Amino acid sequence: MKGNNLGEFEELALLTILVLGDDAYGVTIKQAIIKQGERQISRGALHTALSRLEDKGFLTSRQGEASEARGGRPKRYYEVTNKGKEALHEAKATRDRLWNQIPEVRLELQYAW
């Protein structure tokens, strides 16, 4: 890819991180995505996407603390970079522009009879 296009899952992940703000790490991101009701995802799936996004400069991460509850491995918090935000805006703009060019009629569902 040219390097600036986001895959659909990547985009979903970035948006979710922006929604979560300060509290975006693996588990919360996963929960949020699932809660959006859209799909089931695994830890692994998410983390590979996140680390690819980081490689490409769409987000950065920093080590956090362990969970209070019962200990556990330290969290890794994610933050969307400027580049990431720009990519999101661009993706949105392109699609919005396309949606605006579609006449209403053409969106109606057809039923056989």
In eight-state DSSP terms, residue 19 is H
State the DSSP H helix or E strand holding residue 30, giving kind and residue range, or none if neither.
helix 26-35
Distance CA 95, CA 74 (A): 38
Q: To the nearest whole angstrom, how small is the minimum distance from the Cβ of residue 69 to DNA?
A: 4
In sign, the C-alpha dihedral spanning 22, 26, 32, 33 is positive
Q: To the nearest whole angstrom, how small is the minimum distance from the Cβ of residue 19 to DNA?
A: 17
φ, ψ dihedrals at 63, nearest 5°:
-75, 140
Q: Which of 45, 79, 81, 85 binds DNA (CB under 7 A)?
A: 45
60 is a site residue for DNA (CB under 7 A) = no
Q: Which of 18, 20, 26, 81 binds DNA (CB under 7 A)?
A: 26
25 is a site residue for DNA (CB under 7 A) = yes
57 is a site residue for DNA (CB under 7 A) = no
43 is a site residue for DNA (CB under 7 A) = yes
